[in-house]
């Protein structure tokens, strides 16, 4: 596609449920980032992939959060046993390589009730 | 934790005026980037300045970088109401001791341009 695509655009889930958020990066982009953004705050780094491997997952808040990118393209962010504090907009971005501009998707707004 | 700190947190100006936003950061960087965000969703890349550059221009945007002070500024000249948005600086870190070149964002400056 022409840009980074994130699905779903909105997700409402009950506390304790499992959710998956999907990111389709721009074709050919090797770097992929996941961020979480709360109202009035900047994007908070979660995890960064270079190809299929997680180059840096230091931003994942705890072991309920996990992300994969098995073929070096599409990535899925997985959240187990969701909590109300997980409610935020989850942003995905891709870039051609390291140290180049990142292109963002429109985000998935996750609401845990 | 967030690497960059933008200043001011909020800025309100009249159309036609210039807007200046500042960003300070803490560790060595490969480059510094500025992004714009409308309505809390996707961010749009504005400009990238590398650590060996001091100034860069793109249309009405001018970015400066002072690596000795670990700071950058974004100047928007002749502002328009359509420039109303949140602006973020992001630093691409220099990998040290096994760290990655992840892109880390500040908290942003909310710019309002009044018609």
Q: Torsion angle of alpha carbons A99, B106, B3, A7, nearest 10°?
A: -60
Q: Please name the fold of domain A5-112.
A: Immunoglobulin-like (2.60.40)
pLDDT at B81: 96
SS3 A77: strand
Residue B41 has what pLDDT? Answer: 73
Q: What does the pLDDT read at residue B33? A: 94
Check residue A72 and give left, alpha or beta (phi > 0: left; psi -120 to 50: alpha).
Answer: left
The whole-angstrom distance between B22's CA and the closest CA on chain A is 15
Q: How far is CA B102 from CA A28, A31, B32, in A?
A: 19, 10, 12
* Cβ-Cβ contacts under 8 Å, B25 against chain A: none
Q: Is the CATH number of domain B5-114 2.60.40.10?
A: yes
pLDDT (tens digit per residue) in B62-113: 999 999 999 999 999 999 999 999 999 999 877 665 556 788 899 999 999 9
Find the largest Cα–Cα distance for chain B: 50
Give the model's pLDDT for residue B100: 65
- Residue A19's beta-bridge partner residues? A79
- Hey, where are the domains in chain B? 5-114
**Is B107 in CB contact (< 8 Å) with chain A?**
yes
The beta strands (E) that lie in A1-113 are given as 5-7, 10-13, 19-24, 31-37, 44-50, 53-56, 65-68, 75-79, 88-95, 103-104, 108-112
Q: Do A43 and B48 touch (CB under 8 A)?
A: no
What pLDDT does B40 receive?
Answer: 62
- Give the pLDDT confidence score for residue B3 in this predicted structure: 63
Closest residue of A to B29, CA-based? Answer: A99
Q: To the nearest whole angstrom, how far is the Cα of B69 from the nearest Cα of chain A?
A: 21
Q: What is the pLDDT of residues B2-55, one digit of tens each?
A: 566 888 999 999 999 999 999 999 888 889 999 999 976 789 999 999 999 999
R_g of chain B, CA atoms, integer Å: 14
Q: Residue B1 — pLDDT band, cuts 50, 70, 90?
A: very low
Q: What is the pLDDT of residue A23?
A: 98
Average pLDDT per 10 consecutive residues for chain A, totaling 113 residues: 91 98 96 94 93 91 96 96 97 88 95 98
């Amino acid at each position: 596609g022409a840009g980074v695509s994130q699905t779903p655009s909105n997700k409402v889930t009950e506390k304790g449920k499992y959710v998956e958020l999907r990111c389709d990066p721009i074709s050919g982009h090797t770097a992929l980032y996941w961020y979480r953004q709360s109202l009035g705050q900047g994007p908070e780094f979660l995890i960064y992939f270079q190809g299929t491997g997680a180059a840096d997952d230091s931003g994942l808040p705890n072991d309920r959060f996990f992300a994969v990118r098995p073929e070096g393209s599409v990535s899925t962010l997985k959240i187990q046993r969701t909590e109300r504090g997980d409610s935020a907009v989850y942003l995905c971005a891709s870039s051609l390589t390291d140290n180049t501009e990142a292109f963002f998707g429109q985000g998935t707004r996750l609401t845990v009730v | 934790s967030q690497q960059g700190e933008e200043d001011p947190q909020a800025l309100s100006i009249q159309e036609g005026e210039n807007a200046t936003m500042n960003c300070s950061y803490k560790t060595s960087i490969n480059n510094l980037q500025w992004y714009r965000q409308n309505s809390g969703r996707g961010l749009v890349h504005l400009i990238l300045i590398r650590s060996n550059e001091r100034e860069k221009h793109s249309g009405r945007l001018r970015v400066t970088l002072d690596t000795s002070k670990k700071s950058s500024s974004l100047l928007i000249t002749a502002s328009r109401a359509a420039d109303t948005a949140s602006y973020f600086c992001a630093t691409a870190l220099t990998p040290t001791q096994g760290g990655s070149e992840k892109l880390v964002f500040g908290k942003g400056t909310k710019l309002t341009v009044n018609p």
